[in-house]
Amino acid sequence: MLPRRVRNLATMVKRRAFWTASVLLGLAFISFLYVIGPPVLRSLSGLQGFDLFYVGMTPKPTQQPLHPCARANITLVSAFFDIGDHRKGGVTRHISEYLPFSQSLAFIKTPLVFYTDSEVFADHVTKLRSRLDPKLTHVIRVKRDSLWPFNLRAPIGQLYAQPGYPKHAPNTVVPDYSCAQHAKYACILDLILKRHDIIKTEVYAWLDFGYFRDLKDKQHYCMVLPQNFTEEKVSFNQVYLPNFKQAPKTIFYSNHVWVGGGMFLATRDTMVKFCIEYQRATEYLLFARNLSSTDQQTLYASFTEEGRRDINFDVELQVDPGSHGWFKLGFSCLHRMGNGTFPNLR
Ligand SMILES: *[C@@H]1O[C@H](CO)[C@@H](O)[C@H](O)[C@H]1NC(C)=O
Ligand SMILES: *[C@@H]1O[C@H](CO)[C@@H](O)[C@H](O)[C@H]1NC(C)=O
Ligand SMILES: *[C@@H]1O[C@H](CO)[C@@H](O)[C@H](O)[C@H]1NC(C)=O
Ligand SMILES: *[C@@H]1O[C@H](CO)[C@@H](O)[C@H](O)[C@H]1NC(C)=O
């Protein structure tokens, strides 16, 4: 016979072991139910739901709402064409100065298709996005002359050389600069119509290469639809309130702006129509009216009373009331990831 104290101790050890084992078994059972079991059993059974194992659990995987980023289903399109140094806002910009403007593209987890004729920029964007899923980045090397705007370089150059044509550098001074602005619409059209095997989404957004230069917080973002997005219209940012009574010539000669060209978005079909209309408007203004500058003047002039009569764009623009600076639309589409709220959804 063991002394009673030793027997008591043995009982206590046994009890502890029993409770410890019970707790461990319990934990194992719970983790099987909630974590390991469902996927294993689902894959074994081939069933999608497996209700028994989701007792008390919400939501079931099949009912999980799509992540807002997937639901927005947007492709960003951007481009950079190496047209050499040019004057902007009174200073001469070297192309390498544009590189740092794009750092935030490394943090935007929305698919990006980037068109360029520059090896430096192609490599830059590839490196910038190298930490993201490779499916999210497509760099397309193009020859400038394969895009319609660069074929207008000579007539635009002749117009800018005419005495009396206003000098708003670079808009009405550097023909290639005007062509590069028009090229936005050519690149988007090229992607949607000719390269849909690369990517196909419901919505396409143009984004200037340096648009998010002020986004410096190094958080991950994606793009979602802005609040007043409409399927039949192209959303733009209203930078200045318009005066549609002005003549197109005044808008070009005085360098007026209504909507910003830095970012705009539309559904696929609307965007196709819009880009085709844009080319028609550009060529009409250049050849029939001797007017050329950037897309900002082209769009403003097209929607004046005179422009509606003579050009009659087949697609309307969507702008929010009020004037919004240059970047409001784009920033309103940024959705910070890993944050449980779902803002800006339709
Ligand atoms: C996104 O749009 C494409 C083309 O319309 C479609 O095939 C795809 O299923 C959509 N994806 C989502 C997550 O809705
Ligand atoms: C445009 O410029 C050309 C060449 O200078 C000129 O012949 C033509 O009359 C101009 N057209 C208009 C509408 O100003
Ligand atoms: C959306 O449009 C409505 C009606 O024009 C306007 O009142 C509202 O301010 C717009 N939303 C934003 C975010 O501007
Ligand atoms: C999500 O982000 C918004 C805007 O940045 C912020 O106001 C909100 O508190 C965030 N919510 C969570 C759950 O972090």
Minimum-distance ligand 1 atom for the alpha carbon of 66: 13
Q: Flag the least confident range among 72-81, 93-102, 193-202, 216-225.
A: 93-102
| Cβ 290 under 6 angstroms from ligand 2 | yes
**Residue 312 domain flag:** yes
pLDDT class for 13, splitting at 50, 70, 90? low
Do 59 and 188 lie in one domain? The reply is no
Check whether residue 159 and residue 204 sit in a common domain. yes
Give the per-residue pLDDT at 30. Answer: 67
Do 48 and 108 sit in the same domain of this protein?
A: no
What is the band of 193 on the pLDDT scale with cuts at 50, 70, 90? very high
Kindly state whether residue 252 falls inside one of the protein's structural domains: yes
Q: What is the pLDDT of residues 104-135, one digit of tens each?
A: 898 899 999 999 999 999 999 999 999 999 99
Last residue in a domain, options 48, 63, 78? 63
* Domain CATH code at residue 216: 3.90.550
Range of the domain at 316: 68-336
- 86 with 58, same domain? no
pLDDT at 214: 86
Looking at the 3D structure of the chain, how many domains does it have?
Answer: 2
The fraction of the chain above a pLDDT of 90, given in percent, is 64
Quick check: 295 pLDDT over 70? yes
Question: 72 and 48, same structural domain?
Answer: no
0.85 surpassed by pTM: no
Cβ(165) – ligand 2 distance below 6 Å: no
According to DSSP H, which parts of 167-247 are helical? 175-194
Does 173 reside within a domain?
Answer: yes
d(Cα 229, Cα 307) in Å, to the nearest integer?
24
Alpha-carbon distance of 240 to 7, in angstroms, equals 90
Which one of 63, 81, 112 terminates a domain? 63
30 and 131, same domain (yes or no): no
Q: Which of 12, 31, 63 is the last residue of a domain?
A: 63
Give distance in angstroms: CA of 268 to centre of ligand 2. 37
Cα separation, 330 vs 25, in Å, equals 52
